[in-house]
Amino acid sequence: MDTVFIRGLRVETCIGVYAWEQRIRQTLRVDVELAADASRAAASDDIADAVNYAQVAERLQALGEAQPWKLVETYAERAAAAILDEFDTPWVRLAVTKDVRLPKRTEVGVVVERGERTRADA
């Protein structure tokens, strides 16, 4: 099994536990890895046999816009479930990062891994 990835996807959403955070749009950085058989796409050179990165990105954007979120963990869990359900992959890893002030600007986030990796060497 191969791994395809999207790194640095920017997802605009309302996210945070404080009332002021629910009134503004913030940007999450989403990095995605998912299991796929890249050999099929390589042999056919046809997008129908590949993971369509644009569709994955659009789905993650739509999820961000679907509702306000309190926790990065909740968005990450729902995003992982959507990818597993909708993109014919047995395994996904998502890293979701948000800029915060603690008290100075820093990044916080979560990495979730769901499904089963089906590699002989995994």
What residues are labeled active site? 98
Structure tokens at 77: 């869990």
Residue pair 34/89 in contact by the 8 Å Cβ criterion: yes
The Cα–Cα gap between 33 and 94 comes to 7
